Chain A
């Protein structure tokens, strides 16, 4: 058994679980719950291995004072890293507990049985419980590879329907998000950002604001501006007043040339990929094989898009006794602590950062920035807890966006319609903008605006397997020859970071759209064409399951109705997902989604409904990106400042969805939270082509795009 990599920093068994004397079990994870319900899956895994009731388990999520350090909750790694670690830790704990019970009962481990934490001996008929054996005690040992987790045929919980942990609190409004926290003496704050990224505060007459009811402090440090008030609405009003009074310098307009021109023309660093890993060698030109019967090329484009959390970012901070305590919804409390320690010039140990749920973030949004904002505000009034929330315009205008991207794809077919050669180039800014220890630099927003500012570090090209820009740039199909190139482009206008699936969404959109274009060129059915180039057995099963479930090929469709199929394996090594989308395009070019079928293989399924929820949620979010979303900006700044200027998919626009899960109880978990992002986009594009014969290659695929494409013929 290979131990989870999460043990390398956290080898002690006590870092992972605690048996309480009163019969409860706390399981610790360094990951965070952000609506993906990993706490449910982790509780199921622990209850299964320990043989205790699910209700006994509490999952403690990331807290720099309590939990194992597991970096960021990102990249669909939580099940694989933390889930596997919890499985191995609880299996180890069970082994130790049974050895203790064996000694106590005078009976060999082999004849002991466990029922809800109660260990019974077959021969002696004596009992002893986990809580008696280990209640409130330490295991005092490291996790070893000596315990074997259960075989799937012994499972009572895993893979069966269960209720989600904590869902009662969500439907009653009783669960406290960080926005809902209250501490004695707590006060409220809001920030006032510059009108543009790089504008500086020139003048400000604070007096009228200080005279307003409830204003405790106006916090001003360079161009960082915040206001603290007794009551929340007072902070909202005072911030609005401050924004009106502040005079900003007018320099540093954003570069406003067409973003796709900038992507192609700006300075860049380019790397060819080998097996998903960038190589520091010169890029060769694409080839045309001698046997090529046809060579096609297409360019696909994605604009900047935003995380668009429904809850604006929020954090609670308090300075006390030279220490700082922060509650926030960051996906990485340990790296955030490092980043904050640098900016605040405090030792890391004197800062505690606890994760408290926020609204879904889908990657690196404002969660970390707001933590620094709250700390800067709280520093002005030591001893008093400060709850700072961003306003909607702060969230829309300042979060780090998913980068604009361009994919240039070219392929050659032989005279039997088989792909001989494939070339894929992706142009993009960095997808890695998360804060950590960056020395003299900082990625935390407010630090750029301070009197003694820090500047963001120059992002370095990520040379890792399937990371950022080149995630899923390499198709899973079999081609005799391929050329995959990553271009990391510099000096682009907007702040960017990790948004659910990173580069995979746009790369898969390009690959799976182009597969359809090639199928069409060779007169083949899109499903058959894919299968002809696909030998990975699990990928074939998933693709065929989606097609079968949707009765692919059997439907006689009305005019304007279309169906598209697409698939990918996230990072070429996580969850396999295929999507079939049915939609219609009316005479005016308006697109309506009707029905979607998802098929997915996420390895061993722990919580089937939780998994479906992630896959379906990914599909709907991706449909929203694909049909509607684009961050607008000009030289003056970001124009998408609310839900009217940045609309997302609404109820009347959502398709019905069916999901088919292919369970492999004997296989490792495969992260699934990002698996449907790419396939959904391409299935929509392919269905539009099927409906009206027009290929749309620039996202979002709007009614205007349909009309433009129709006009171009």
Chain B
């Protein structure tokens, strides 16, 4: 065990964990942030995605120590039920969730996209979400939701 410092959703945390621990277990089990989902542990499905310094990254296999001094944002830091982010509201409006297991990762990846490119076309959205797997087949609605959110963000 060693001390690891993490900045998550704007808060500093000092944790006593094995520094080899993949970030996701620390987020979920030490910080109680269950939004990032464990899907494959292999960086193949995107369910675990979080924002790291504004970019979407897998959290399921990179050791927690690699995230020190970086700003981590999980789905919980993007919006809450009382205060939904525009993207989350767009997912609700488009009914862009079936089982919903992949959705936190989807919204994280979509936020990274919109922060960098507020006016993406469908192709750019698909490219940005190409690391995120959905098995329920909600893709077409997710694309619509991201387009809707982009439009609303641009005003």
Contacts and interface: CB of A to CB of B under 8 A. Distances in A.
B67 interface: no
B36 A651 contact: no
B140 interface: yes
A640 to B, nearest CB: 13
A527 interface: no
Contacts of A36: 98
A392 B40 contact: yes
B101 to A, nearest CB: 4
Interface string B67-96: 000000011100111001000100110010
Contact of B101 (A177, A233, A610): A177
Q: Which DSSP category, helix, strand, loop or mixed, fits chain B's interface?
A: loop
B129 to A, nearest CB: 4
Contact of A311 (B37, B76, B142): B37
A654 B141 CA distance: 11
B47 A360 contact: no
B47 A311 contact: yes
B141 A613 contact: yes
A231 interface: yes
B42 interface: yes
B137 A617 contact: yes
B143 A651 contact: yes
B7 interface: no
A643 B22 contact: no
Contact of B100 (A175, A309, A656): A175
B136 interface: yes
Contact of A233 (B18, B74, B81): B18
A610 B33 CA distance: 29
A524 interface: no
Interface string A344-381: 00000000000001111010000000000000000000
Contacts of B98: 35-37, 360, 613-614, 617
A74 to B, nearest CB: 16
B150 interface: no
Contacts of A362: 135
Contacts of A177: 37, 101
B99 A174 contact: no
A310 interface: yes
A621 B45 contact: no
B56 interface: no
Given A163-B92, A233-B18, A310-B47, A643 B40 contact: yes
- The residue among B28, B38, B125, B130 with the most chain A CB atoms within 10 A of its own CB is B38
A177 B100 CA distance: 10
Interface string A231-251: 111001000000000000000
A164 B92 CA distance: 8
A171 B102 CA distance: 10
Contact of A168 (B20, B34, B81): B81
Interface string A158-181: 000001100111111111110110
A171 B25 contact: no
B29 A232 contact: yes
Interface residues of A, number: 60
Interface residues of B, number: 58
A93 to B, nearest CB: 29
A37 to B, nearest CB: 7
A169 B81 contact: yes
Given A172-B35, A312-B39, A620 B137 contact: yes
B31 to A, nearest CB: 12
B88 A392 contact: no
A77 B34 CA distance: 32
A609 B95 contact: yes
A38 to B, nearest CB: 12
A392 B41 contact: yes
Contact of A34 (B39, B84, B99, B125): B99
Interface in B22-74: 22, 25, 28-29, 33-42, 44-45, 47, 74
A232 B38 CA distance: 11
Nearest to B76: A173
B35 A310 contact: no
A18 to B, nearest CB: 25
B102 A231 contact: no
Given A311-B47, A357-B99, A171 B92 contact: yes
Given A642-B44, A650-B133, A310 B101 contact: yes
Given A171-B107, A642-B44, A179 B38 contact: yes
Contacts of A610: 95
B140 A173 contact: no
13 contacts: A164-B95, A171-B104, A172-B80, A180-B34, A233-B20, A236-B41, A309-B101, A310-B135, A610-B95, A649-B139, A652-B126, A654-B139, A655-B140
Interface of A: 34-37, 163-164, 167-177, 179-180, 213, 231-233, 236, 308-312, 357-360, 362, 389, 391-392, 609-610, 613-614, 616-621, 624, 642-644, 648-652, 654-657
